[in-house]
């Protein structure tokens, strides 16, 4: 494995045996495996990929697709049935937050024990103990038994413990929703800091929105097999499209993080475009301009970002833009921005426009504000579908060159 790689997996497979009862398991053991009545379940098959240092990989797939099994294999909790993998550096896994804590030990003793199990020295763990409990906000109960902690307190300590030891590779399984909303944002901020410092992440989550903001690449698992591997944005959209219409999918394409208190949008209005502001109507191809105003009352100012989504009647997210996608951050106690859509490519329909105020990473949503009236788009052309496609037709003679009567090529655009 080259020095630029943090992890390399080759043909990983995992097969579990499901026994009908304890008697069948005992009979198999006594017969030295000659009598087997177990059902073989192939949880993983043929998983191969490479992950560079400092990258973040999203694991997506339905429940039972093999995401948790893959993380257990990569963390060393269970050996693969076939294949192999290699890692570079210390690996920490948060598969079930708090599951590794002994209830009779104090929080301080559990952090020390977990750190040593991860390969850190006692001196290193003790040196970071204060930072860990400060981040978890549990300084007052550091010497109390973990059995006296609430489930939320145990989860916060588990996350703070793993992050405080600064592993080279961190595996997360559905732990982006740790504690209350304010603590969740602190955890996401810490993950971005961890990545900026060169840490490598593998994250499993059903929140495709969060995965798009956090991850570079994605691995799509389907019944234990790789269905896709590539850029996180493209692959999560492919998976969302696959889930459309399925009862279990929820709203994977457009769902955002939980709403937090504090910064809010105080203005969202048309500047130009609609023919009638009380019943906004525009023609396809017409330009639009929107103004958004925000206020940030927090004592510690942090950058913000704004997004605007257009949702078609029926609940389908049609389009969305955001400042953090375009490299623009907002700063200050209050301010305004204007969004210009110079050539609206939507075809006829009714659309709900919503402005979203988010943190600087575009993960957590502070506030949202919808225009009071839906936008009606009209279209007089012959284009079909949801959007206008800019296009050209070229007539070819015998598959060679454009015919003289159509040179230069004709171009058709929908009338405005």
Q: List the single range of 73-87, 251-265, 285-299, 374-388 with lowest mean pLDDT.
A: 251-265
Looking at residue 179, its pLDDT comes to 60
Give the model's confidence band at 260: pLDDT under 50 very low, under 70 low, under 90 confident, else very high. low
Element (H, E) at 111: helix 107-117
Q: Which residues contact 175 (CB under 8 A, 6 or more apart)?
A: 94, 97, 155, 159
Give the model's confidence band at 409: pLDDT under 50 very low, under 70 low, under 90 confident, else very high. very low
Peptide bond into 132 cis (omega under 30): no
Q: Looking at the predicted structure, is the pLDDT value of residue 35 above 70?
A: no
Question: Tokens at residue 150, please?
Answer: 């609430």
Instruction: Residue 285: count other Cβ atoms within 10 Å of its Cβ.
Output: 19
Q: Looking at the predicted structure, is the pLDDT value of residue 165 above 60?
A: yes
| CATH, range 51-64+84-249 | 3.40.50.300
Q: Looking at the predicted structure, is the pLDDT value of residue 412 above 50?
A: no
- Give the model confidence (pLDDT) of 74-106 as tens digits: 988 899 999 999 998 888 888 765 557 888 999
Give the model's confidence band at 416: pLDDT under 50 very low, under 70 low, under 90 confident, else very high. very low
Nearest Cα neighbor of 330 from 364, 363, 296 is: 296
How many Å apart are CA 363 and CA 256, to the nearest integer? 7
Average pLDDT over every residue of 176-201: 80
Q: How many CA atoms lie within 13 A of 20 on its CB side?
A: 7
Q: Are strands 82-87 and 5-18 parallel, antiparallel or unpaired?
A: antiparallel
Angle at 397 between CA 391 and CA 399, to 5 degrees: 80
Give the model's confidence band at 356: pLDDT under 50 very low, under 70 low, under 90 confident, else very high. very high
How many Å apart are CA 57 and CA 171, to the nearest integer? 10
Give the model's confidence band at 401: pLDDT under 50 very low, under 70 low, under 90 confident, else very high. low
Give the model's confidence band at 29: pLDDT under 50 very low, under 70 low, under 90 confident, else very high. confident
Give the model's confidence band at 413: pLDDT under 50 very low, under 70 low, under 90 confident, else very high. very low
Looking at residue 403, its pLDDT comes to 52
Nearest Cα neighbor of 341 from 372, 377, 314, 381 is: 377
Q: Looking at the predicted structure, is the pLDDT value of residue 109 above 50?
A: yes
296 close to 304: Cβ distance less than 8 angstroms: yes
Q: What is the domain partition of the chain in residue ranges?
A: 51-64+84-249, 264-378
Torsion of CA 301, 174, 208, 212, to 10 degrees: 50
DSSP 229-262: EEEHHHHHHHHHHHHTT-GGG-STTT----B-SS
- Give the model confidence (pLDDT) of 207-245 as tens digits: 787 788 889 999 999 999 999 999 988 888 788 767 754
Looking at residue 57, its pLDDT comes to 95
How many Å apart are CA 349 and CA 280, to the nearest integer? 12
Q: Does domain 264-378 have CATH number 3.30.420.40?
A: no
Query: Which has more confidence, 250 or 199?
Result: 199
Looking at residue 240, its pLDDT comes to 76
Question: Tokens at residue 264, please?
Answer: 């809010």
Q: What mean pLDDT is reported for the chain?
A: 83
Query: Which has more confidence, 237 or 190?
Result: 190
- Give the model confidence (pLDDT) of 336-346 as tens digits: 999 999 989 99
Q: List the single range of 180-184, 242-246, 293-297 with lowest mean pLDDT.
A: 242-246
Percent of the chain exceeding pLDDT 70 equals 86
How many Å apart are CA 192 and CA 205, to the nearest integer? 16
Looking at residue 308, its pLDDT comes to 94
- Give the model confidence (pLDDT) of 46-76 as tens digits: 999 999 999 999 999 988 899 999 999 998 8
Per-residue b or e along 207-231, where b marks 16 or more CB atoms closer than 10 Å to that residue's CB: bbbbbbbbbbbbbbbbebbbbbbee
Query: Which has more confidence, 19 or 345?
Result: 345
Question: Tokens at residue 332, please?
Answer: 């200050």
Average pLDDT over every residue of 193-219: 88
């Amino acid at each position: 494995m080259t020095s630029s790689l943090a992890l390399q997996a080759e043909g990983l497979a995992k097969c579990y045996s499901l026994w009908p009862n304890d008697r069948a398991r005992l009979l198999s053991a006594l017969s030295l495996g000659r009598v087997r009545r177990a059902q073989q379940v192939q949880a993983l098959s043929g998983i191969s990929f490479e992950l560079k240092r400092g990258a973040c990989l999203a694991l997506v797939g339905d429940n039972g697709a093999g995401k948790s099994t893959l993380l257990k294999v990569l963390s060393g909790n269970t050996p693969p049935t076939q294949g192999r993998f290699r890692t570079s550096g210390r690996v920490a896994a948060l598969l079930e937050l708090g599951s590794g804590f002994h209830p009779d030990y104090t929080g301080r003793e559990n952090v020390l024990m977990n750190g040593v199990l991860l390969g850190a020295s006692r001196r290193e763990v003790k040196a970071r103990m204060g930072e860990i409990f400060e981040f978890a906000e549990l300084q007052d109960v550091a010497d109390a038994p973990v059995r006296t902690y609430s489930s939320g307190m145990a989860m916060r300590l588990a996350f703070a413990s793993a992050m405080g030891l600064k592993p080279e590779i961190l595996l997360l399984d559905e732990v982006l929703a740790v504690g209350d909303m304010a603590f969740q944002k602190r955890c996401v901020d810490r993950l971005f800091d961890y990545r900026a410092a060169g840490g490598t992440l593998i994250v499993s989550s059903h929140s495709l929105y969060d995965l798009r903001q956090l991850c570079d690449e994605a691995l799509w698992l389907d019944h234990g097999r790789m269905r896709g591997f590539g850029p996180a944005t493209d692959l999560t959209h492919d998976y969302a499209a696959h889930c459309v219409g399925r009862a279990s999918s929820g709203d994977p394409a457009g769902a955002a993080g939980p709403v937090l208190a504090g910064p809010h949008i105080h203005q969202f209005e048309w500047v130009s475009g609609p023919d009638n502001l009380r019943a906004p109507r525009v023609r396809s191809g017409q330009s639009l301009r929107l103004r958004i105003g925000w206020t940030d009352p927090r004592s510690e100012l942090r950058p913000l970002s704004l997004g605007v989504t257009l949702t078609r009647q029926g609940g389908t997210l049609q389009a969305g833009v955001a400042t953090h996608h375009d490299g623009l951050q907002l700063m200050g106690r209050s301010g305004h921005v204007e969004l210009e859509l110079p050539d609206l490519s939507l075809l006829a329909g009714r659309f709900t426009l919503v402005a979203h105020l988010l943190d600087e990473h575009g993960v957590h949503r502070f506030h949202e504000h919808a225009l009071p009236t839906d936008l009606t788009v009209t279209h007089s052309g012959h284009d079909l579908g949801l959007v206008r496609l800019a296009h050209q037709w070229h007539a070819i003679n015998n598959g060679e060159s454009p015919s003289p009567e159509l040179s230069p090529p004709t171009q058709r655009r929908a009338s405005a």
